[in-house]
Structure 1
Amino acid sequence: MYDHGAIAEHVDGLRIMAYDYSVAEPGPIAPLDWVQQVIDGVLLAVPPEFHDRVVLGIPSYGYNWPTIVIGDCPADAPGRTSINPGTLDDLIARRNIEPVANASTGEWSATYELEIDDGISSCVQTRQLHWIDADGVTLRVEMARRAGIRGVALWALGYEDDDVWNALVSSAAKDLAP
């Protein structure tokens, strides 16, 4: 790990990664309780006079994992893939997926089946999705605001959609004087 306290003294901004909680196995990307633990941990490590240098890295994407495989998949069958709002909306529509909101993680999830056949081998993958939408981004922005840190950084630019930008603008408007 890094000595955030020592680093903070020598930098203008200290970006903390609060995403990729689940990578190898299906699960939430940045569950709210874990994000709070990340914030609390860095604020304990960084002297108070440098808290205004801390920037919380938050996700605007998700992952799509295979969880169950029946059959012998072709070599080029997808493993874990990234999803963003543009690809997600299309996937939900094509597969008739019913997303489920999880208030405790501040994320969405869903499952669906994918049939893969290359003419030589075939399989059916049960796939699990986890992602953060604009409301989830807003929840994490509010956590950063309550912590009194500098702000947030999205990972990664280009993954977000207009809803995320609109949520960020609405959230930032709270800090503007009338």
Structure 2
Amino acid sequence: MNIKEQGIVADYIVLMGYDEHTDGSAEPGPVASIGFVEQGIDLVLQDVDPSKVINAVPFYCRAWKEGDGKYNSVVQHMNNVQDFLSTNGISVSWDEETGQNYGEGTSKDGTNYKIWVEDTQSLAKKLEAMKARNLAGVAEWAIGFETSDAWDVIASYTEGQ
């Protein structure tokens, strides 16, 4: 893949700013920490003009379930993550390093969970980083996973473009 060449011939380059940690990851972690997002954008901007770069953000996260000393994950969409947290007695607090709300806890059935939540706060953090770099725009994965207030945050970003 030659990103520089793509930046010349394509109208836009869409950067997949997520899947930092997937179900196949060796350790639990966020889907898209702010550091991961900024690093990906900055790498692309070495070869592509920001007016051609669109960063895609996730409307989902992963709940990491511990079992036998190993972790696997279950996708949680933005529009159902609050129910998941409530059902499993997990409270979250802001983690500046990842730019996300983070929580861990043990459900009633004894399952240990860790979760880095994608919500309007983390979305705003990503959009601020994109705006600071004068990117062309934002894309999302996937429509229907979001909460309605996510569009308010995105609108405040795009109105300044």
TM-score category of the 2 structures, normalised to the smaller one: 0.7 to 0.9
Task: Say whether residues 1:172 and 2:148 are aligned partners.
Answer: no
Match of 1:27?
A: 29
Runs of 4+ in 1 over 3 A off after TM superposition: none
Read off the aligned partner of 1:94 and give its amino acid letter. T
- Identity %, equivalent residues: 23
Read off the aligned partner of 1:28 and give its amino acid letter. P
Read off the aligned partner of 2:58 and give its amino acid letter. P
- For the 8 Å contact 1:61–1:132, the answer to whether it is kept is yes
Query: Which of 111, 114, 117 is residue 104 of structure 2 equivalent to?
Result: 111
Q: Deviations over 1:12-70 (max 9, x none)?
A: 21101111112222112212122111111101022x3xx31111111121101112448
- For the 8 Å contact 2:94–2:100, the answer to whether it is kept is yes
- For the 8 Å contact 2:90–2:106, the answer to whether it is kept is no
- For the 8 Å contact 1:63–1:80, the answer to whether it is kept is yes
Q: How far apart in 2 are the matches of 1:86 and 1:151?
A: 23
Q: How far apart in 2 are the matches of 1:154 and 1:40?
A: 19
Q: How far apart in 1 are the matches of 2:33 and 2:78?
A: 18
Q: Which sections of structure 1, spanning at least 5 residues, go unmatched? A: 71-77, 117-123
- Which has the greater radius of gyration? 1
* Residues 1-178 of structure 1 aligned to structure 2 (within 5 Å): 2-23=1-22, 24=25, 25-46=27-48, 48=49, 51-69=50-68, 79-114=72-107, 124-175=110-161
- After superposition, the CA RMSD in angstroms is 2.1
Read off the aligned partner of 1:7 and give its amino acid letter. Q
TM-score (norm 1): 0.79
User: What is the CA distance between 1:100 and its match in structure 2?
Assistant: 1.9
* Count, aligned residues: 157
Q: How far apart in 2 are the matches of 1:53 and 1:174?
A: 17
Q: Which sections of structure 2, spanning at least 5 residues, go unmatched? A: none
- For the 8 Å contact 1:141–1:151, the answer to whether it is kept is no
Read off the aligned partner of 1:37 and give its amino acid letter. Q
Report the CA distance shift for 1:111/1:69 in structure 2 as closer, same or farther (over 3 A).
farther
Read off the aligned partner of 1:16 and give its amino acid letter. L
TM-score (norm 2): 0.86
Report the CA distance shift for 1:114/1:131 in structure 2 as closer, same or farther (over 3 A).
same
- For the 8 Å contact 1:69–1:125, the answer to whether it is kept is no
